Amino acid sequence: MNPNLQQLQPYPFAKLATLKEGIEGPADLAHIALSIGEPKHAPPAFVRDELIDNLDKLASYPLTKGLDSLRQTIAQWLCQRFNLESVCADTEVIPVNGTREALFAFAQAVVSPGAKVVMPNPFYQIYEGAAFLAGATPHFINCSVETGFKPDFDAVPASVWEACELLYICTPGNPTGALLEMEDFKRLIALADQYNFTIASDECYSELYFDEQNPPLGLLQACADLGRNDYRRCVVFHSLSKRSNLPGLRSGFVAGDREVLEKFLLYRTYHGCAMPVPTQFASIAAWQDEQHVMENRALYQQKFDAVLEILDGCLDVEKPQASFYLWPKVGDGEHFARELFRQQNITVLPGAFLAREANGINPGAEYVRMALVATLEECIEAAQRIRRFCQ
């Protein structure tokens, strides 16, 4: 067996199941899950119809590179969304089966054994697992209230940057919803040039925001602002899961540096992970429509407004800059999650399960993550129970 498998920690939800073991929530209260970031809004009907209309194409092997029409649609979406002059659909875009699969596979292609992979802390656990299975060592950058929940990049020693071959960033952040700004991206690009590493920007929450006039920035947008139109050392990951409520479609893309993507495509050809052709046609329909995405944002806005009004004054929590998570400070996140389930039959995720100890602290230990993915009525009911629990 691959010895690196021994370094993998249990997934957060496995830890959560252990935490809840032997505990039953009140039988008279329906269970409400705020733990998993799985969108529950209805998928767009027109995407479903496009998938059904193309089921006959299951008779064809899909190309790893994907359909020309899908890559062109993605390139057009990127240019419109992030104000880019151009994205080459042929060399700078690869469709993938969701960002989770691609974020993991990317490290296997671009990282050499013994290197450092730098990532935020708390983080999406795929980053850590990808580093371990690539034979690399993760380096965690704490995200705290003092830094606005953004990684403290200035705290990373030069020796770590010198050994770094891959930097994972997540904006909007999971679990905090914090956004990187233009100066943050430019600082990281300068570091990537200085120390010769690749930036992998996980932007799968980029379309869940609250101000229609000010959408979150992206890494390729910073490249364009610098006149860096080859997107050198920069790669972004996007998905239809959150944007379009299509987590089961397993559809996303990777875009950026063509030299990096050329090697990644070679890896994927052997990896055997081509997107089914009907899925590709359904994806084209989703990427070409923005109306359902705006309606999706409006639904989340309703839930945040209602929940935060109820929780005001009883929980140390603020509206995130983007995403669909709340990140309240509760003291002892594991105790809070366990007792909330015991007393109110609500499941939330302890922040410690999303982080690792670094520089003597686990930056998630005092927090829990709440995903406002349930219906508006369920989110309101959950907020009312949480208020009673806190009081």
Query: Do residues 108 and 184 both lie within one domain?
Result: yes
Contact between residue 119 and residue 139 where contact means Cβ atoms under 8 Å apart:
yes
Query: Please, where are the H alpha helices in 119-254?
Result: 125-133, 158-163, 182-195, 219-225, 240-243
Query: Do residues 116 and 228 both lie within one domain?
Result: yes
Position 147 in a domain: yes
Using a 10 angstrom Cβ sphere, with 0-12 exposed, 13-18 middle and 19 or more buried, the burial of residue 190 is exposed
CB atoms within 10 A of CB 273: 17
pLDDT tens for 68-112 read 999 999 999 999 999 999 999 999 999 999 999 999 999 999 999
Asked, as a colleague might, if the bond just before 62 is cis with ω within 30 of 0, I would say no
Q: Which two tokens stand for residue 349?
A: 């995720």
Domain boundary among 289, 323, 343: 289
Please give the pLDDT value at position 39: 94
Domain boundary among 239, 254, 289: 289
pLDDT tens for 114-167 read 999 999 999 999 999 999 999 999 999 999 999 999 999 999 999 999 999 999
Cβ-proximal residues to 3 (8 Å cutoff; 6+ apart), any chain: none
Position 135 in a domain: yes
Amino acid at 40: K
Query: Do residues 119 and 260 both lie within one domain?
Result: yes
Position 51 in a domain: no
How far is 173 from 141, CA to CA, in rounded Å?
13
Query: Do residues 173 and 279 both lie within one domain?
Result: yes
Query: Do residues 284 and 298 both lie within one domain?
Result: no
Residue among 101, 68, 60 nearest 271 (CA): 101
Query: Do residues 176 and 271 both lie within one domain?
Result: yes
pLDDT tens for 294-348 read 999 999 999 999 999 999 999 999 999 999 999 999 999 999 999 999 999 999 9
Please give the pLDDT value at position 97: 97
Report the mean per-residue pLDDT for the chain: 97
Query: Do residues 155 and 256 both lie within one domain?
Result: yes
Query: Do residues 276 and 299 both lie within one domain?
Result: no
pLDDT tens for 147-161 read 999 999 999 999 999
Please give the pLDDT value at position 86: 96
Please give the pLDDT value at position 280: 98
Mean pLDDT of 24-42: 95
Query: Do residues 19 and 78 both lie within one domain?
Result: no
User: Looking at residue 65, which CATH number applies to its domain?
Assistant: 3.40.640.10
Mean pLDDT of 362-376: 97
Please give the pLDDT value at position 32: 97
Position 54 in a domain: no
Tally of domains in the chain = 2
Query: Do residues 334 and 375 both lie within one domain?
Result: yes
pLDDT level of residue 55 (50, 70, 90 thresholds):
very high
Domain range enclosing 261: 60-289
Position 48 in a domain: no
Query: Do residues 227 and 309 both lie within one domain?
Result: no
Residue 119 φ then ψ, to 5°: -155, 160
Position 246 in a domain: yes
Please give the pLDDT value at position 90: 98
Query: Do residues 139 and 72 both lie within one domain?
Result: yes
Domain boundary among 267, 289, 311: 289
Please give the pLDDT value at position 383: 98
| pTM confidence score | 0.97
Beta strands in 143-288 (DSSP E): 164-170, 198-202, 234-239, 252-256
pLDDT tens for 346-363 read 999 999 999 999 999 999
User: Looking at residue 367, which CATH number applies to its domain?
Assistant: 3.90.1150.10
